[in-house]
A and B are shown apart, each in its own frame.
Chain A
Amino acid sequence: MINAYILLTMQTGDSEKAISEMRKIENVEKISVVAGEYDIVVRVHVKSLEKLLTVTNKIQMINGVKKTTTQVIEKEISL
């Protein structure tokens, strides 16, 4: 299984609608609206890199998404 963070930059004014679209995508585990260089951080859990590409494509197709940067998780420690 592959976990990844997708960092999104949004166009002003479209985030609310875009978030509701993202919430419908399978494999999306978590959506965090953030304040900083990025606008949204999405965490995905997929079976393969090919599936990751599909999810990234779906996110890129959403109206209001300006740019995506994908960060594949190699190792993790969490509470």
Chain B
Amino acid sequence: MKIRRKYLFYALAFTSAIITAGVSTIDATISARYIPNPWAFGFSCFIVGIFISLIIVCIFSIPVKGRSLGSRIIDPSFKRLRLVRKEELKYHILAAVGNSILTIGYLTLLSMFGDPSTVLPFSQIAILYLILIESISEKNIPTLSEIQSSLIVTFGAILGSITLTGTITLESFAIVFLVVNPAWILFSIYQRKLKLLKIDNRPNDALNIRFWNVVFACMFTAILVGVYDLIVGTGHFIAGITASIDHFNWVALTMGITFFSYVFYIRALGIGKASVTQAVRASTVLFAIPFSLLISYFNIIPPFSTDPVMILIKIIGTTLVILGIVSFALSLVKAYVFINVKPGYPIEETMDKLWSIRGVTRVTVIAGTYDFIVKIRIRTLVKGYERIIRKLEGIEAIKKYKWESVLKEWENI
């Protein structure tokens, strides 16, 4: 089935956001009722997560009419459960470090506030970090509209966080800015790098990426919790193992659903830029509200404030998040540039020069009418001239080029 790339991207990111909101509610319930210790809860999540993820990936590895079940319904790139390749190892370790720290930080916030609709908006501030990192790693200087959108999402998220509790502690801000968000960025960037890798000439699949991330994150969390116990003299390591046995069903439920949330998120990351994916996923803030109301109704978390000022702030906060997402989504220009080169210039050298241009996402050497096809992704057409055309004209080897703006695009999923 081929659907428009844009729709696929939004469908994946929104599905992931809805699932995340639901999972946070389960997490809040477990944290309030069964495992209040965030270190033990985090560790137990990864221990149980390995078993659950293994079962899910094995089920999806079952072949159905020549293709695996996972390939048919989850990710077309998936064949079967496989071992980690050498080229993936570095990225898996870094993504796992991020996931491990992020999980413990998030569960610490959840144990402090209880209400997922307060905790989730905090993590959306990660978008600011992502914009910065994309500027460095993906040769893409953020445009004014990107900065505006990310600030709108950030302020909306902060307002959304304040309203339901009425207060914000300095400690929670420190956890958000110094622990949760940097860890989320590390996790997000390296998950994206893993998704963009080619394994056996096929795009890497989200199911194997998620499974191995849980395995590596479990190892790193064991080290982290163990070292913390040794230094501080606590017993979180044993508490984590005990919690994973005593509350296996609850933790299995949250990890089972989280698996799908991340698989959809990883697939979305492979399609769009990390910051745009994060922006769309920010809608989880809205989806968390009905879930929070539900657990508040059952007295799992304290009841919400009915103060009209608080409600107004909440409406402003959520509106800003939506506006930020929409302005992100609506500004993207893509184009192909067909290039002919002069004889006497090495192809490799020209290829490197083209690749070094900001906004170039793909450089292809071809045999046919042209010598190169370059794919461009920029925020505005003005940038297309300033950033691309002027740079192309500066490359001596280029004889002539043709610019073809992409109006619509479909991709095989």
A-side contacts of B411, CB under 8 Å: 29-31
B-side contacts of A4, CB under 8 Å: 366
Of the residues A23, A31, A38, A71, contact of B404 by C-beta under 8 Å: A38
Of the residues B369, B404, B408, B409, contact of A69 by C-beta under 8 Å: B369
> How many B residues face the partner with a CB closer than 8 A?
35
B59, CB-defined interface residue at 8 Å = no
B196, CB-defined interface residue at 8 Å = yes
A71 adjacent to B367 (CB under 8 Å): yes
A69 to B362, CA, bound (A): 20
Of the residues B366, B375, B403, contact of A72 by C-beta under 8 Å: B366
A65, CB-defined interface residue at 8 Å = no
**Nearest-Cβ distance from residue B397 to partner chain A, whole angstroms:** 16
**Nearest-Cβ distance from residue A41 to partner chain B, whole angstroms:** 6
B365 adjacent to A33 (CB under 8 Å): no
Of the residues A35, A69, A72, A78, contact of B407 by C-beta under 8 Å: A35
A-side contacts of B305, CB under 8 Å: none
A19 to B370, CA, bound (A): 24
A-side contacts of B405, CB under 8 Å: 34-36
**Nearest-Cβ distance from residue A27 to partner chain B, whole angstroms:** 9
A31 adjacent to B368 (CB under 8 Å): no
B408 adjacent to A32 (CB under 8 Å): yes
Of the residues B201, B407, B412, contact of A29 by C-beta under 8 Å: B412
Given A31-B2, A33-B406, A34-B404, A71 contacting B363 (CB threshold 8 A)? no
A41 adjacent to B367 (CB under 8 Å): no
B403 adjacent to A36 (CB under 8 Å): yes
B410, CB-defined interface residue at 8 Å = yes
A5 adjacent to B351 (CB under 8 Å): no
B135, CB-defined interface residue at 8 Å = no
B361, CB-defined interface residue at 8 Å = yes
B-side contacts of A70, CB under 8 Å: 368
Across chains A and B, the number of contacting residue pairs, with CB separation under 8 Å, is 93
A31 adjacent to B409 (CB under 8 Å): yes
Given A30-B412, A77-B355, A36 contacting B404 (CB threshold 8 A)? yes
Given A29-B412, A34-B404, A78 contacting B361 (CB threshold 8 A)? yes
> How many A residues face the partner with a CB closer than 8 A?
29
B138, CB-defined interface residue at 8 Å = yes
B373 adjacent to A5 (CB under 8 Å): yes
B2 adjacent to A23 (CB under 8 Å): yes
A37 adjacent to B404 (CB under 8 Å): yes
B342, CB-defined interface residue at 8 Å = no
A-side contacts of B407, CB under 8 Å: 33-35
B79-137 interface (Cβ within 8 A of A): none
Of the residues A1, A23, A41, A76, contact of B365 by C-beta under 8 Å: A76
Interface centre among A32, A72, A73 (most CB of B within 10 A): A32
**Nearest-Cβ distance from residue A16 to partner chain B, whole angstroms:** 10
Nearest residue, chain B, Cβ from A78: B362
Nearest residue, chain B, Cβ from A25: B2
B399, CB-defined interface residue at 8 Å = no
Interface centre among A19, A31, A69, A79 (most CB of B within 10 A): A79
B242, CB-defined interface residue at 8 Å = no
B364, CB-defined interface residue at 8 Å = yes
B371-385 interface (Cβ within 8 A of A): 373, 375
18 A-B pairs, CB-CB below 8 angstroms? Answer: A28-B412, A30-B412, A31-B410, A32-B408, A33-B406, A34-B335, A34-B406, A34-B407, A35-B407, A36-B405, A70-B368, A71-B367, A73-B366, A74-B365, A76-B363, A77-B351, A79-B138, A79-B196
**20 extra interface residue pairs, beta carbon distance < 8 Å, beyond A41-B406, A71-B369:** A5-B364, A5-B373, A7-B369, A28-B412, A29-B412, A30-B409, A32-B409, A32-B410, A33-B408, A33-B409, A35-B407, A36-B404, A41-B404, A71-B366, A72-B367, A74-B365, A77-B351, A78-B361, A79-B138, A79-B196
Q: Closest 5 CB pairs between A and B?
A: A71-B368, A36-B404, A78-B362, A34-B404, A71-B366
